[in-house]
Amino acid sequence: MDQFAAKVFVRLRPSVLDPAGEATKSASIKLGAEGIKSLRIGKMIEVKIEGNDENEVREKIDLLCDRLFANTVIEDYEYSLEKL
């Protein structure tokens, strides 16, 4: 069995308003940062996982993303996978 590290990024879909992102954008501007056009907050989930090969691990991560990590009604996800 090989070890893999996945980094999963979960983001609100562009059509879903992100009030926390808006509030953080407002604070960023108060801090003095100029030129911020948009700021949206997502989640990053790190998973260490075993598997025989990359395809098998991708199947597992896809299932996790689809059923648990993201609610695809409101969120999109993407991930990177690295063999350790």
One residue of 16, 27, 33, 63 binding other proteins per CB under 8 A: 16
Q: Choose, by CB under 8 A, the member of 32, 34, 52, 73 that binds other proteins.
A: 73
Tell me if 69 contacts other proteins by CB under 8 A.
yes
Instruction: Please name which of 1, 3, 74 lies closest in space to residue 40, comparing C-alpha atoms.
Output: 74
Q: Is 40 exposed, middle or buried (0-12, 13-18, 19+ CB in 10 A)?
A: middle
Applying CB under 8 A, the span of 8-16, 48-56, 58-66, 76-84 interacting with other proteins comes to: 8-16
Q: Does position 27 bind other proteins by CB under 8 A?
A: no
